[in-house]
């Protein structure tokens, strides 16, 4: 579509766009905004710093810059979906570093593992939002003035408008009647000698402004969440509890303005966890349902209550959400040391190496064993079946036929080295440095035990529990973000569905026989709205005719 096609170019030389001190985009309707030349139109030649500043501001707040920034914004997010992101999956980033150390280091220099926290990403969206502010604020002013202004007087030649019609009212027609008819159709109406001018569809611009302001609101809400919110992960074995304190988390990520005291003081006990699986067919082993039964205490001293935690159904306590995000097995063992003392007793969380069968691995450190420290590496199979060659595998994720295959090592666990060690992921390299005691043994069923050679002790497989991993999150920006989102949708709907349109009517002096010729012209100020407007216009002309007595020859 060419600019000459723009009916406003002929009907109305867009006075606001020309006179407005702000940018071209500051003019009342966006499509008019575009009909001027690009943002850099009046680049000041040697105008001094203030002039340059003005030029810079104009360029920044022009439609074309907004368009380019939008592109950049989209483009800049792409690497965030290609490279693993620390904020999403730190494990995958570590793996990437392991696989291509040199390349990864370079990527990291450009923040490609933290795209959405990167300074260059922030630069783009901050520029975009500054541009947005620079765009919206002047438009708010224009809009406020426009709301108070009367529709502009009728142009002289209505026949030049994109929509026009005329009819003859034999009984005469009055400006008042015609104006009233337009008012009934909820037009804002102004009248003058022999003409009516009417306008409708102001909500379109309101919608546009609401939408863009809501986008700003969204940014503020997200910022609020990252400053005052926190999230953390914790793994809990059935029967154990959790109290919401910083120390209780395995991984804790506070916002920059969160203090340890601001954590909501709730606690809960994990009574029981259940997972159900598809038993047969192509999707055999796929999980159907998880649920964890909790006993929750909202604050110290409050009465505990039962809550069933499920996927899609988080626990909420005072705005803090607790989500069930993972699960696994925790077989229990009792380890007696060489002196017959209980050196370890309880469940150990295992990590599934195959989520379809839950064949899992775990390690048990027994630093208190005497005479030597013990390390156990356990392979846990929930549903154990032998393959033809005798190797054992798990055939199903539920604990139908659980076994634990134990390898045992003796020696120094290296726990006092000062290097922090993950509770759940003990470095198996360390075990290899120790003296092997048992390397191949029959798998244990629940209740069975294995004697360690040389009187080093005894390991008993005492039972199977499950663990759940939880994400606990507090985000004060959630509700504001939702409100902003709802406003954005509402604004968008108004702005995209409502047509801004003007109708002018001219009533000519009555003829000798008292009949008058009424001319009607119409203009929609919304791009792409012309098709629907033709129908509405015809409708309006009909309605106007109906207000005047004895209409004939509607043209």
- Name the residues that contact ligand HEM, by CB under 6 A: 25, 29-31, 33, 61, 63, 66, 70, 128, 131-132, 135, 208, 211-212, 215, 492, 495-496, 527
By CB under 8 A, name the one of 185, 310, 458, 499 that touches another protein: 310
Binding mask 21-50 for another protein (x = CB under 8 A): ---------xx-xxxxxx------------
Contacted by 279, from ligand HEM, another protein, none: CB < 5 to 8 Å by type: another protein
The piece of 248-256, 287-295, 455-463, 513-521 that touches another protein (CB under 8 A) is 287-295
d(CA 228, CA 257): 5
The gap between the terminal CA atoms of the chain, to the nearest Å, is: 29
Decide: is 95 part of the binding site for another protein (CB under 8 A). Answer: no
Partner whose binding site includes residue 61, from ligand HEM, another protein, none (CB under 5 to 8 Å by kind): ligand HEM
* Length of the chain (residues): 555
Under the binding rule (CB under 8 A), the answer on residue 312 touching another protein is yes
473 binds another protein (CB under 8 A): yes
What residue has token string 């048990």?
A: 364
Instruction: Report the residue number, 207 or 443, with the smaller CB distance to ligand HEM.
Output: 207
Nearest to 366 by CA among 225, 460, 245, 440: 460
DSSP H or E stretch at residue 495: helix 478-497
Establish if 4 lies at the interface with another protein (CB under 8 A). yes
Structure letter (DSSP) for residue 154: P
Considering only the stretches 1-9, 381-389, 418-426, 512-520, report the one whose residues sit in contact with another protein under the rule CB under 8 A: 1-9
Give the interface segment with another protein, choosing from 42-50, 79-87, 264-272, 394-402 (CB under 8 A).
79-87
Q: Could you say which of 14, 63, 364, 456 contacts another protein (CB under 8 A)?
A: 63
Using CB under 8 A, pick the residue from 81, 256, 391, 416 that binds another protein: 81
- Which does residue 88 touch among another protein, ligand HEM, none (CB within 5 to 8 A, set by kind)? another protein
Cα–Cα distance, 377 to 225 (Å, whole number): 42
Q: What is the β-pairing status of strands 287-297 and 457-474?
A: unpaired
Answer yes or no whether residue 276 interacts with another protein by CB under 8 A. Answer: yes
Alpha helices in 111-244 (DSSP H): 119-148, 175-184, 203-228
Residue nearest to ligand HEM (CB): 30
Using CB under 8 A, which of the segments 305-313, 329-337, 344-352, 396-404 binds another protein? 305-313
Residues 236 and 241: their CA atoms lie apart, in Å, by 7
* Smallest separation (angstroms) from ligand HEM to the CB of 211: 5
Question: For the range 427-436, what are the long-range contacts, defined as Cβ-Cβ under 8 Å and sequence gap of 24 or more?
Answer: 428/363, 428/377, 430/375, 431/363, 431/375, 431/377, 431/407, 434/375, 434/409, 434/410, 435/372, 435/409, 435/410, 435/411, 436/407, 436/408, 436/409
**What's the gap between Cα 108 and its chain centre?**
24
Q: How far is the CB of 70 from ligand HEM (least distance, A)?
A: 6
Count of residues near another protein by CB under 8 A: 70
Among positions 23, 61, 85, 357, the unique one binding another protein when judged by CB under 8 A: 85
Closest CA to 394 of 444, 348, 360: 360
Given the DSSP bridges, would you call strands 374-381 and 384-386 parallel, antiparallel or unpaired? unpaired
Find the angle CA(511)-CA(517)-CA(519) to the nearest 5 degrees. Answer: 155
Give the nearer residue to ligand HEM in terms of CB position, either 59 or 449: 59
Least Å distance, CB 420 to ligand HEM, is 42
Full DSSP string of 317-362: ETTEEEEEEEEEEEEEEEEEETTS-EEEEEE---EES-TTT--EEE
Pick one of 385, 482, 546, 549: the residue that binds another protein (CB under 8 A).
Answer: 482
Q: Does 1 bind another protein (CB under 8 A)?
A: yes
Name the pairing type of β-strands 287-297 and 305-310.
antiparallel
With CB under 8 A as the contact rule, the residue among 527, 534, 538, 543 that binds another protein is 527
Q: Which of 282, 284, 286, 289 has its CA nearest to residue 313?
A: 289
Distance CA 399, CA 397 (A): 7
Report if residue 18 touches another protein, rule: CB under 8 A. Answer: no
Q: Confirm or reject binding of residue 488 to another protein (CB under 8 A).
A: yes
Among residues 151, 79, 143, the alpha carbon closest in space to that of 115 is found at: 79
Decide: residue 82, CB within 10 A, 0-12 exposed, 13-18 middle, 19+ buried: exposed
Residue 289, contacted partner among another protein, ligand HEM, none, CB below 5-8 A by kind? another protein
326 binds another protein (CB under 8 A): no
Contact 233, 470 (CB under 8 A): yes
**Peptide bond preceding 371: is omega within 30 degrees of 0, i.e. cis?**
yes
Least gap, CB of 81 to ligand HEM (angstroms): 19
How far is the C-alpha of 432 from the C-alpha of 423, rounded, in Å? 18
Closest contact distance (angstroms) between CB of 7 and another protein is: 9
What is the binding site for another protein (CB under 8 A)? 1-5, 30-31, 33-38, 63-64, 66-67, 70-71, 73-74, 77-78, 80-82, 85, 87-88, 115-116, 222, 231, 276, 278-279, 281-283, 286-290, 310-314, 321, 323, 325, 471-473, 475, 478, 481-482, 485-486, 488-489, 492-493, 496-497, 527-528, 531
């Amino acid at each position: 579509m060419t600019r000459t096609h723009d009916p406003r170019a002929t009907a109305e030389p867009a006075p606001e766009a020309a006179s407005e001190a702000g940018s071209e985009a500051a003019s009342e309707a966006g499509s008019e905004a575009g009909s001027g030349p690009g943002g850099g139109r009046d680049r000041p030649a040697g105008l001094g710093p203030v002039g340059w500043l003005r030029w810079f501001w104009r360029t920044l707040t022009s439609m074309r810059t907004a368009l380019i920034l939008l592109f950049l914004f989209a483009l800049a997010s792409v690497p965030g979906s290609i490279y693993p992101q620390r904020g999403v999956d730190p494990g995958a980033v570590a793996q990437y570093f392991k696989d291509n150390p040199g390349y990864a280091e370079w990527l990291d220099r450009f923040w490609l593992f933290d795209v959405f926290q990167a300074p260059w990403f922030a630069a783009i969206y901050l520029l975009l939002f500054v541009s947005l502010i620079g765009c919206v604020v002047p438009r708010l002013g224009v809009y406020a003035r426009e709301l108070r202004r009367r529709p502009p007087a009728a142009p002289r030649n209505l026949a030049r408008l994109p929509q026009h019609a005329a009819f003859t009212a034999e009984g005469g027609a009055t400006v008042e009647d015609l104006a009233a008819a337009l008012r009934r159709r909820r037009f804002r109406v102004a009248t003058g000698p022999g003409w009516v001018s009417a306008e409708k569809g102001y909500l379109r611009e309101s919608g546009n402004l609401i939408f863009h302001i809501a986008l700003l609101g969204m940014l503020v809400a997200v910022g609020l969440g990252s400053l005052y919110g926190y999230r953390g992960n914790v793994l809990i074995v059935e029967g154990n509890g959790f109290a919401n304190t910083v120390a209780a988390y395995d991984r804790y990520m506070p916002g920059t303005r969160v203090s340890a005291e601001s954590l909501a003081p709730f606690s809960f006990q994990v009574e029981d966890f259940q997972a159900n699986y598809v038993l047969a067919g192509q999707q055999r082993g796929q999980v159907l349902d998880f649920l964890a039964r909790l006993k929750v205490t909202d604050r110290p001293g409050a009465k505990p209550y039962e809550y069933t935690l499920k996927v899609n159904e988080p626990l909420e306590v005072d705005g803090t959400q607790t989500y069930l995000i993972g699960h696994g097995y925790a077989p229990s063992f009792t380890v007696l040391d060489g002196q017959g003392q209980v050196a370890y007793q309880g469940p150990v969380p295992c990590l599934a190496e195959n989520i379809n069968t839950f064949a899992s691995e775990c390690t048990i450190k027994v630093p208190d064993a005497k005479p030597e420290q013990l390390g156990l590496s356990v392979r846990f199979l929930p549903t154990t079946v032998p393959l033809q060659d005798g190797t054992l595998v798990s055939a199903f994720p539920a604990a139908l036929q659980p076994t634990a295959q134990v390898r045992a090592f003796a020696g120094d666990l290296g726990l006092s080295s000062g290097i922090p060690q993950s509770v759940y992921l003990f470095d198996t390299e360390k075990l290899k440095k120790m003296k092997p005691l048992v390397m191949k043994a029959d798998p244990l069923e629940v209740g069975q035990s294995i004697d360690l050679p040389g009187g080093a002790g005894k390991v008993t497989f005492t039972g199977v529990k499950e663990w759940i991993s939880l994400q606990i999150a507090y985000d004060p920006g959630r509700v504001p973000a939702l409100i902003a989102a709802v406003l954005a949708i509402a604004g968008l709907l108004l702005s995209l569905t409502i047509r801004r349109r003007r109708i002018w009517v001219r009533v000519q002096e009555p003829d000798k026989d008292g009949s008058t010729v009424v001319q009607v012209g119409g203009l929609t100020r919304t791009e792409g709205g012309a098709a629907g407007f033709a129908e509405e216009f015809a409708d309006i002309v009909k309605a106007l005719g109906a207000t005047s007595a004895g209409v004939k020859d509607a043209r």
